[in-house]
């Protein structure tokens, strides 16, 4: 929230998605009373109201929304008012069946759910901007309005459409990317391969289902185009809102979480005044708290400071095979863990549990059971907690470690026809993030071409299959000037067109790492090799190996067995005044932790604060105080050395604070 248009609310904002249109008006008064009881300060309204606001084309009915906005204002609750464009009404599709999206197999989808539109449809764009404009004109000066909520989760259900309209839009995008040079595109896509050469722009189609593996660069450009197509809808709506209300900040709820990869949020972030995120736990993730931390750090990095948690859940969701409820204290730990990573607003999907519709089994702040429920008591408790933490707002985390994160590299790594289909970008990054999280080391995420890497002592590149020469040169420069760099396997392999960097792997990083790989040996699922050398006894590795020749680096660990027995698996290279490490395989978690510990010590990066195992630690730094967050995930609680005042209980801390089992402590420390 670092732009001129800031969200100006006192305290840490608290609330959720509010859908009063699903309820008779008698219920609204109870909503207001209970929102106040829970300490709710802001709700998102109108997200799915298009059919009510514009019951037929060009005919508006704002009576209900007027009452809702007034009611919120009367009760001192701010509105995060949405443009309702994520769910076009039935009349729209009746008039524009061509705006329904088509999947890769050529199947056109049907209305009857939400977000079932083609992102490149001119009819959709026109209708969306029209309703956005009408909402903006009606409420720009409403006193309840605090922020615009543009659309809802762009790309959640329609990240790509393969229809002919999308094909035409793709061509326009390609002509811009390749400056109208079809030869340039043919070269970039390597179309001499398999006779894929294009003689006319009109021959280019979306990467629809094919009999044999698709062209990788075609796929990659398609993913870039799909992200940009949705971004252009977002910025178009935002411009409409800005024209009506130049001082009101706008956000759209991103999905920085494990399962979503459709949008390049580095490109989205600069277009938004407030960055907000929707985060849900996956029931099959045994350490979901890691995903909260990772996505929170990524959000803070995208925002360049504090951000807003627009949605998470009080309990179970409705969209996983089995929807796990949260255990005692888990909802509070989750919410405060987001705050620890920089969230200055905490909101849920949703305020009141729906009785009908596809989300009737989704948890809410006010469950079906009503106020005599654990969830409600926890919701009220969390409201009080956030009030107690009000002063934390605007403070941020100061990291000396940067982890390189890149959507282009993610998309490219997961293209078909890779040496191994077992590589998952998010998992590779999380492998490296985990030991830092356990050790309590503060981490930022950066783009590969970040021009200010020198503010970090250590830059980690867990996975960067695709990298431009310029970005690789920036990382090498950082190292030469005295930084410590660590790079994971299968990085530096291809350029922005997904062409192999020639001359041996790892291509763009060969020189800085001081190694040359002449052949890749990915490992089969379940295959595990021993590692020996400067690694813990019994160290192993899986997933990947490669035949390395040292070209300046020295070996830290070698394979104990397998086809590469005796050859280097981990290397270290002095490059200029700095050091570059290469992890050419995936060490087991203990070995990876030991290596990263050593690398971190070499870079002189210490944990934020000494804590026992099971305690997550983060420090937010403000101008007048620091805030030490201690979160117990181990279930045992712990005594931790600290000085200051514990804000959740308001008790002074002189020397030691007790973090209760499964609980949280936040200490205001003098700075
Ligand atoms: C998303 C959407 C919400 C709701 C929740 C359910 O985050 O934005 O409208 O569907 O999922 O978890």
Give residue-wise pLDDT tens across range 34-83: 999 999 999 999 999 999 999 999 999 999 999 999 999 999 999 999 99
Long-range CB contacts (within 8 A, 24+) of 449-454: 449/474, 450/402, 450/404, 450/474, 453/402, 453/477, 453/478, 453/483, 454/478, 454/481, 454/483
pLDDT in tens, 353-398: 999 999 999 999 999 999 999 999 999 999 999 999 999 999 999 9
How many A from CA of 103 to the centre of ligand 1?
Answer: 22
**Enzyme catalytic residues:** 153, 311
Looking at residue 9, its pLDDT comes to 86
How many A from CA of 596 to the centre of ligand 1?
Answer: 37
Nearest CA to ligand 1 atom 12: 317
> What is each CA distance from 549 to 505, 513, 542, 544, 574, in whole angstroms?
10, 11, 20, 16, 16
Q: Tell me the CATH number for domain 13-161+227-394.
A: 3.20.20.80
Domain ranges of the chain: 13-161+227-394, 401-602, 615-670
**Beta bridge mates, 345:** 13
How many A from CA of 118 to the centre of ligand 1?
Answer: 20
H helices present in 312-418, as ranges: 330-340, 374-388, 407-413
Q: From CA 178, how far away is CA 186, in angstroms rounded?
A: 10
List all residues 6 or more positions away from 667 whose beta carbon is below 8 Å from its beta carbon. 627, 628, 630, 642, 643, 644, 645, 646, 647, 653, 657
How many A from CA of 350 to the centre of ligand 1?
Answer: 8
How many A from CA of 312 to the centre of ligand 1?
Answer: 9
Looking at residue 212, its pLDDT comes to 96
Region 333-340: mean pLDDT is 98
- Lowest mean pLDDT: which of 5-14, 232-241, 312-321? 5-14
Region 617-628: mean pLDDT is 97
How many A from CA of 349 to the centre of ligand 1?
Answer: 6
How many A from CA of 428 to the centre of ligand 1?
Answer: 27
Region 622-631: mean pLDDT is 97
Q: From CA 439, how far away is CA 442, in angstroms rounded?
A: 9
In which element (H, E) is residue 586 found?
strand 586-587
If one counts every other C-beta atom within 10 angstroms of the C-beta of residue 323, the result is 15
**Beta bridge mates, 623:** none
Nearest CA to ligand 1 atom 5: 349
Spatial contact of 146 and 79, defined as CB atoms under 8 Å apart: yes
pLDDT in tens, 17-31: 999 999 999 999 999
Q: From CA 202, how far away is CA 512, in angstroms rounded?
A: 43
Looking at residue 8, its pLDDT comes to 84
- Identify which of 45, 278, 348 to mutate to test ligand 1's pocket (most ligand atoms within 8 A of the CB): 278
- Please, what's the b/e burial string for 239-266 (b: 16 or more CB within 10 A of its CB; e: otherwise)? ebbbebbeebbbbbbbbbbbebbbbbbb
> Per this entry, what is the length of the chain?
671
Residue ranges around ligand 1 (CB below 6 Å):
152-153, 278, 280, 311, 317, 349, 359, 362
Looking at residue 105, its pLDDT comes to 97
pLDDT in tens, 437-475: 999 999 999 999 999 999 999 999 999 999 999 999 999
Task: Cite the beta strand spans of 77-170 per DSSP E.
Answer: 78-82, 145-149
Point out the ligand 1 atom lying closest to the alpha carbon of residue 153. 8
How many A from CA of 18 to the centre of ligand 1?
Answer: 12
Coil, helix or strand at residue 114: coil
- Distance between terminal CA atoms of the chain? 23
Cis peptide before 350 (omega within 30 of 0): yes
Class of domain 401-602: alpha beta
Point out the ligand 1 atom lying closest to the alpha carbon of residue 152. 8
Spatial contact of 584 and 569, defined as CB atoms under 8 Å apart: yes
> What is each CA distance from 58 to 69, 186, 237, 540, in whole angstroms?
22, 45, 17, 65
Which residue, chain included where needed, has tokens 């867990």? Answer: 462
Nearest CA to ligand 1 atom 3: 349
**pTM for this model (two decimals):** 0.98
> What is each CA distance from 451 to 446, 447, 448, in whole angstroms?
10, 9, 9
Q: From CA 600, how far away is CA 441, in angstroms rounded?
A: 9
Which of 471, 479, 480, 481 lies closest to 451 in space, CA to CA?
A: 471
List all residues 6 or more positions away from 143 whose beta carbon is below 8 Å from its beta carbon. 73
How many A from CA of 278 to the centre of ligand 1?
Answer: 8
H helices present in 504-649, as ranges: 510-513, 589-602
How many A from CA of 637 to the centre of ligand 1?
Answer: 33
pLDDT in tens, 524-545: 999 999 999 999 999 999 999 9
Nearest CA to ligand 1 atom 4: 349
DSSP letter assigned to residue 198: -
Backbone angles phi, psi at 15, to 5 degrees: 170, -150
Q: What is the mean pLDDT of the chain?
A: 97
Looking at residue 185, its pLDDT comes to 98
Spatial contact of 392 and 12, defined as CB atoms under 8 Å apart: yes
Looking at residue 671, its pLDDT comes to 83
Looking at residue 1, its pLDDT comes to 43
Region 79-100: mean pLDDT is 98
Region 490-499: mean pLDDT is 98
H helices present in 259-395, as ranges: 265-268, 288-303, 330-340, 374-388
List all residues 6 or more positions away from 35 whose beta carbon is below 8 Å from its beta carbon. 15, 43, 75, 77, 351
2 pLDDT band (50/70/90 cuts)?
very low
CA dihedral 468, 470, 475, 476 (to 10 degrees): 110
**Angle (nearest 5°) at CA 555 between 551 and 561:** 115
> What is each CA distance from 460 to 444, 475, 541, in whole angstroms?
10, 10, 19
Domain 615-670: give its CATH superfamily.
Golgi alpha-mannosidase II (2.60.40.1180)
Nearest CA to ligand 1 atom 7: 278
């Amino acid at each position: 929230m670092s732009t001129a248009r800031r969200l100006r609310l006192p305290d840490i904002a608290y609330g959720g998605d509010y859908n009063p249109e699903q309820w008779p008006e008698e219920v609204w008064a109870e909503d207001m009373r209970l929102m106040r009881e829970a300490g709710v300060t802001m709700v998102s309204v109108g997200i799915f109201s298009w059919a009510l606001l514009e019951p037929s084309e060009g005919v508006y009915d704002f009576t209900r929304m007027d009452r809702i906005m007034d009611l919120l204002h009367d009760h001192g609750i701010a509105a995060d008012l949405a443009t309702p464009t994520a769910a076009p009404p039935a009349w729209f599709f009746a008039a524009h069946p061509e705006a329904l999206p088509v999947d890769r197999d050529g199947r056109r989808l049907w209305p009857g759910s939400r977000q079932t539109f083609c992102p490149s449809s001119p009819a959709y764009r026109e209708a969306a901007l029209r309703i956005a404009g009408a909402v903006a004109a009606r409420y720009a000066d409403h006193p309840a309005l605090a922020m615009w909520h543009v659309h809802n989760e762009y790309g959640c259900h329609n990240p790509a459409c393969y229809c002919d309209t999308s094909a035409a839009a793709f061509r326009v995008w390609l002509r811009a990317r390749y400056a109208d040079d079809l030869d340039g595109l043919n070269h970039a896509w390597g179309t001499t391969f398999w006779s894929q050469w294009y003689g006319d722009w009109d021959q280019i189609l979306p990467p629809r289902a094919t009999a044999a593996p698709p062209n990788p660069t075609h796929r990659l450009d398609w993913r870039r185009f799909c992200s940009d197509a949705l971004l252009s809808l977002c910025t178009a709506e935002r411009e409409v809102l800005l024209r009506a209300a130049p001082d009101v900040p706008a956000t759209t709820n991103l999905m920085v979480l494990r399962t979503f990869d459709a949008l390049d949020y580095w490109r989205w972030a600069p277009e938004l005044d407030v960055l907000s995120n929707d985060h849900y736990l996956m029931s099959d993730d045994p350490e979901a708290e890691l995903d909260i931390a990772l996505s929170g750090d990524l959000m803070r990095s995208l925002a360049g400071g504090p951000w807003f948690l627009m949605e998470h859940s009080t309990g179970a969701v409705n969209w996983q095979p089995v929807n796990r409820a949260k255990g005692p204290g888990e909802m509070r730990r989750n919410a405060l863990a987001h705050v620890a990573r920089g969230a200055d607003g905490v909101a849920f999907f949703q305020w009141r549990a729906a009785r009908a519709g596809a989300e009737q089994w989704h948890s809410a702040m006010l469950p079906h059971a009503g106020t005599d429920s654990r969830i409600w008591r926890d919701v009220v408790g969390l409201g009080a907690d956030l009030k107690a933490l009000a002063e934390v707002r605007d403070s941020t985390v100061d990291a000396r470690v940067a982890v390189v994160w890149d959507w282009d590299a993610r998309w490219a790594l997961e293209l078909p026809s890779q040496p191994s289909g077992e590589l998952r970008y998010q998992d590779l990054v999380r492998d490296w993030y985990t030991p830092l999280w356990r050790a309590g080391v503060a981490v930022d995420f950066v783009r590969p071409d970040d021009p200010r890497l020198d503010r970090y002592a250590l830059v980690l590149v867990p996975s960067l299959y695709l990298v431009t020469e310029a970005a690789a040169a920036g990382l090498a420069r950082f190292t030469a000037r005295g930084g410590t760099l660590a790079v994971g396997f299968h990085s530096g392999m291809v350029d922005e067109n997904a062409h192999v960097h020639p001359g041996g792997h790892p291509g763009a990083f060969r020189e800085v790492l001081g190694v040359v790989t002449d052949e890749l040996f990915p490992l089969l699922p379940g295959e595990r090799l021993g590692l020996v050398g400067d690694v813990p006894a019994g160290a192993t590795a899986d997933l990947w190996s490669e035949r390395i020749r040292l070209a300046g680096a020295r070996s830290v660990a070698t394979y104990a067995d397998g086809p590469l027995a005796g050859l280097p698996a981990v290397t270290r290279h002095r490059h200029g005044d700095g050091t570059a490490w290469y992890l050419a395989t995936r060490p087991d978690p203990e070995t990876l932790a030991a290596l990263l510990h050593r690398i971190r010590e070499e870079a002189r990066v210490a944990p934020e604060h000494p804590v026992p195992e099971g305690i997550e630690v983060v420090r937010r730094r403000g101008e007048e105080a620091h805030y030490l967050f201690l979160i117990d995930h181990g279930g045992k609680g712990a005594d931790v050395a600290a000085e200051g005042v514990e804000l959740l209980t308001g008790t002074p801390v002189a020397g030691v604070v007790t973090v209760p089992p499964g609980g949280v402590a936040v200490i205001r420390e003098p700075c």
